[in-house]
Amino acid sequence: MAPAADATLGEVGEFGLISQLVEIFEGDEHVLVGPGDDAAVLRVKHGHVVVSTDLMVEGRHFRRDWAGAVDVGHRAAAQNLSDINAMGGTARHLTIGLAAPADLPVAWALDFARGFAEECASVGATVVGGDVTRAEQVMIAVTVLGQCTQAPVLRSGARPGDVLALTGRQGWAAGGLAVLGRGFRSPRVLVEAYRRPEPPYAAGKEAAEAGATALIDVSDGLLAEAGHIADASGVAIDVRTGAFEVPEPLQAVGAALGADPMQFILGGGDDHALLATFPDAASVPSGWQVIGEVREGEGVTVDGGTYDGPTGWTHF
């Protein structure tokens, strides 16, 4: 018998929830054993297997009054799928750990799963297992496995003389978060960008095939991610603000909040744009924008100088 529409996790129990979640996630030809056993069994044909794990904690990474369950599902999937994208790979399979209070509505958990499945389907990935348990707040742990048919692109390959390029929306989610933090819901396009990012999923493999020397996704902030490339590669990176066209919604939020809209672009995360270095401008694929250059030295500068604004999200 199906549970009542307003049933809670405490009422249906762990296995009652799992039985409903399993119906949402479909397998593919690579899944030999899916949800329901002690572990999944996958078939790997060729290339490199790439793996990443991310956590989302209620109150730290999302708020249920700011984003619906379906949106949280999309966000949780996107941040993990993007990590595989940032290696030049393609995500294939994921597992989810869900911890939640006993009074959380079952409908929330199922809507979360539907949003997660929808985002995975956009790249052809499937959920193959996971776990649920009780906690004082909602916590989500996701592990994603992907495949690179060529050598993965690391953060450590940038060299002096390379150009720095970006693809995907950048700063929109940060603008949406700033709006929500002030108790507003508009511009709606920015709020929706925060709730449901749109990573450029095809661009990672494209960059790898075009000869990208380093690659990373912008999850915590553009300057912060550029710093990771600079540190790993032992180089300096300079970002040029003149390369960016500030979209009207960010200009509007900046004016309303008395903030420089460029800070959303330089310091914002959660859009999951891709940042890469290429040997020269001629090797940058269509759809990417050159926004800076790699030099001898260390650290990240903006327009040749020190930047004193926010550079990105820090977890501690």
Q: Is 54 annotated as a binding residue?
A: yes
Q: Is 61 annotated as a binding residue?
A: yes
Beta-sheet pairing, 139-148 with 236-239? unpaired
Residues (pLDDT < 50) of the chain are none
For 104-154, what is each residue's pLDDT tens digit? 999 999 999 999 999 999 999 999 999 999 999 999 999 999 988 888 899
For position 73, what pLDDT does the model report? 98
Nearest 5°: phi and psi at 314? -120, 140
Q: Is 280 annotated as a binding residue?
A: no
Q: Which residues 6+ apart lie within 8 Å of 131 measured at CB?
A: 96, 97, 98
For position 4, what pLDDT does the model report? 72
For the chain, domain boundaries:
10-148, 155-302
Q: Is 103 annotated as a binding residue?
A: no
**Identical fold between 10-148 and 155-302:** no
Q: Is 219 annotated as a binding residue?
A: yes
Q: Is 53 annotated as a binding residue?
A: yes
For position 64, what pLDDT does the model report? 95
For position 315, what pLDDT does the model report? 59
b/e string for 131-159 if b means 16 or more Cβ within 10 A?
A: ebeeeeebbbbbbbbbbbeeebbbbebbe
Q: State what percent of residues in the chain have pLDDT above 90.
A: 77
Q: Is 270 annotated as a binding residue?
A: yes
- How many Å apart are CA 46 and CA 313, to the nearest integer? 36
Q: Is 149 annotated as a binding residue?
A: no
Mean pLDDT in the chain?
A: 91
For position 42, what pLDDT does the model report? 66
For position 201, what pLDDT does the model report? 96
Q: Assign domain 155-302 to its CATH architecture.
A: Alpha-Beta Complex (3.90)
What homologous superfamily is domain 10-148 in, according to CATH?
PurM-like, N-terminal domain (3.30.1330.10)
Q: Is 155 annotated as a binding residue?
A: yes
For 283-313, what is each residue's pLDDT tens digit? 999 999 999 999 999 999 999 999 988 888 7
Q: Which residues 6+ apart lie within 8 Å of 229 measured at CB?
A: 155, 158, 214, 216, 235, 237, 275, 277
Q: Is 6 annotated as a binding residue?
A: no
